[in-house]
């Protein structure tokens, strides 16, 4: 059974702190991995897409890495802001597949 | 370029009624995916459609659920004789092709409440 685990389930940090969210997956034949942000009662916003041939992607204060051999991805958020408060979801698609398999997410609270 | 649109955003149905959820993909996207998010659970794949074709419905419950993506108009997820366990957020996503190379873009979701 393919699974995605996100640790921690919830995280509270003071504003300005750098933080790392973790995602682990059991499928070694990963094709790509996406990080999403979900605000309460809202849809999903795609943050970063890492293809299997890549090791990391960066967008502004966000940096995501992918280590297929260990089955792990991390999302690094620099200089966190209260507006970063949301649930962050990790999802991957397997080789030759279009289905995204999601983790349950990490709920981030950035305290002003 | 408008994003993925879903309506209604909130839907309340009594047990036994039918629920119809609509999804309009992004312009230029011909591939639609439906996912369900149960309370305290991650999103789960339900079905993948292209215009006039169901490609993969392996994640759909065997009974009461159906999906279509007609040549004209939005994709529709239909739930017949709803039960309380169907209460969830239903998300639609679209992409230009099926390949994982391309991101799936998600709509705002429809939150179904069965009373």
**How high is the mean pLDDT of chain A?**
91
At A35-71, the pLDDT tens digits run: 999 998 888 999 999 988 889 999 999 999 999 889 9
Q: Do A46 and B106 touch (CB under 8 A)?
A: yes
Tell me the pLDDT band of A2, cut-offs 50, 70 and 90. Answer: low
Q: Which of B31, B45, B103 sits opposite A46 (nearest CB)?
A: B103
For residues B44-52, average pLDDT = 93
pLDDT at B6: 96
Q: Measured between alpha carbons, how far is A102 from A40 in angstroms, rounded to an integer?
A: 17
> pLDDT > 70: what percent of chain B?
94
| Selection from A3, A28, A10, A15 nearest residue A84 by Cα | A15
Tell me the pLDDT band of B92, cut-offs 50, 70 and 90. Answer: very high
Tell me the pLDDT band of A72, cut-offs 50, 70 and 90. Answer: very high
pLDDT at B101: 57
Q: Measured between alpha carbons, how far is B53 from B41 in angstroms, rounded to an integer?
A: 29
pLDDT at B100: 54
Q: Do A42 and B95 touch (CB under 8 A)?
A: no
Q: Which of A32, A36, A104 sits opposite B100 (nearest CB)?
A: A32
| Ramachandran angles phi, psi of A56, nearest 5° | -160, 160
At B101-110, the pLDDT tens digits run: 567 899 999 9
pLDDT at B17: 98
Contact B68, B49 (CB under 8 A): yes
Q: Do A103 and B31 touch (CB under 8 A)?
A: no
pLDDT at A12: 96
| CB atoms closer than 10 angstroms to residue B42 | 18
């Amino acid at each position: 059974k393919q699974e995605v685990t996100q640790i921690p389930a919830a995280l509270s940090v003071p504003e300005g702190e750098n933080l790392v969210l973790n995602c682990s997956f059991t499928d070694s034949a990963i094709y790509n991995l996406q990080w999403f942000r979900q605000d309460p009662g809202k849809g999903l916003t795609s943050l970063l897409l890492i293809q299997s041939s890549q090791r990391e992607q960066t967008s502004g204060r966000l940096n995501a890495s992918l280590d297929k051999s260990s089955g792990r991805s991390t999302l690094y958020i620099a200089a966190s802001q209260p507006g970063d408060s949301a649930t962050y979801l990790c999802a991957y698609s397997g080789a030759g597949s279009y289905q995204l398999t999601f983790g349950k997410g990490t709920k981030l609270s950035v305290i002003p | 370029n408008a994003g993925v649109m879903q309506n209604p955003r909130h839907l309340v149905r009594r047990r036994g009624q039918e629920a119809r959820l609509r999804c309009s993909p992004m312009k230029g996207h011909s591939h639609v995916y439906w996912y369900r998010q149960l309370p305290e659970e991650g999103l789960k794949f339900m079905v993948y459609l292209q215009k006039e074709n169901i490609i993969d419905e392996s994640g759909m419950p065997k009974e009461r659920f159906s999906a279509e993506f007609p040549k004209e108009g939005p994709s529709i997820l239909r739930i017949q004789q709803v039960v309380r366990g169907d209460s969830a957020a239903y998300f639609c996503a679209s992409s230009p092709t099926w390949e994982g190379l391309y991101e799936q873009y998600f709509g705002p979701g429809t939150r179904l409440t069965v009373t």
